[in-house]
Amino acid sequence: MEAPTVGSMLLASLLLKLGGYGFLRFSLTTLGAGSESYGAYISVAALLGVLYGSLSTIRQIDLKRIIAYSSVAHMNFVTIGIFCNNQQGIEGAIYLMVGHGVVSTGLFFCVGVLYDRCHSRLLRYYGGLATVMPLFASFFLFFTLANLAFPGTSNFLGELLVLLGIYSQNTVAMVVASTGMVLSAVYSLWCYNRIAFGTLKTKYIARFSDVNARELLTLVGLFVCMITLGVTANFLLEFLHLPVCGLVK
């Protein structure tokens, strides 16, 4: 939360995924028997993490905290997919890690854009940005929809495959995990509505300027990556089939 924008982007896109990489690289290979024995307990803990992370996100009033807590919930989703111990779950977890790395980076960058102008991350200082920053509001909407796994975005396929992997193991666990997806829609749309719509906070943002050329170039690059992962899934999944089949017991 206290990191600068670039630091937050690196943490969300790369360093947050090291735990998932450790599970895939070491737990499922070197410690395969232990992972199979304790996988159910880890999945239960991850399910609780999905619910706790999502409910904690709803309670936040700081923009960076909202994105950070939602990232915790999504990475618990990844953990469940990894320990499903089937091809759909593991492939979905890897795809979600890649997709979430792009989406969370875009969201943190959007918060950085607002912080440069207002020097505050508190929601109460924002409102009606669609009026004065329509281009920014459009990009923020796209990343918000991706964060709630809207079809056609990078997170959708990953979460769908994880749910299919969970369903093949336990129907009740799939229902609980789906609740986390519903909660992600709640906090994502609530946050966007507070920022983009509502009463224009004239005292704070009436003089805001829309995104400049440097910010636009970054947002366009992340947007293209997000949509590419959302509509051309085979581009990445073809590389995952063979190594994932070697992990499945």
Predicted TM-score (pTM) of this structure: 0.88
Q: What is the pLDDT of residue 249?
A: 62
pLDDT of the residue at 140: 92
| Domain that residue 225 falls in | 5-247
**Predicted local distance difference test score (pLDDT) of residue 29:** 81
Domain count, the chain: 1
Q: Which amino acid is at 25?
A: R
Rounded CA-CA distance 230/137 in Å is: 21
pLDDT in the model for residue 202: 60
> What does the pLDDT look like over 127-173, one tens digit per residue?
888 888 889 999 999 999 998 888 888 888 888 889 988 888 888 88
Per-residue pLDDT, 145: 92
Residue ranges in the chain whose pLDDT is less than 70 = 201-207, 249
Position 206 scores a pLDDT of: 55
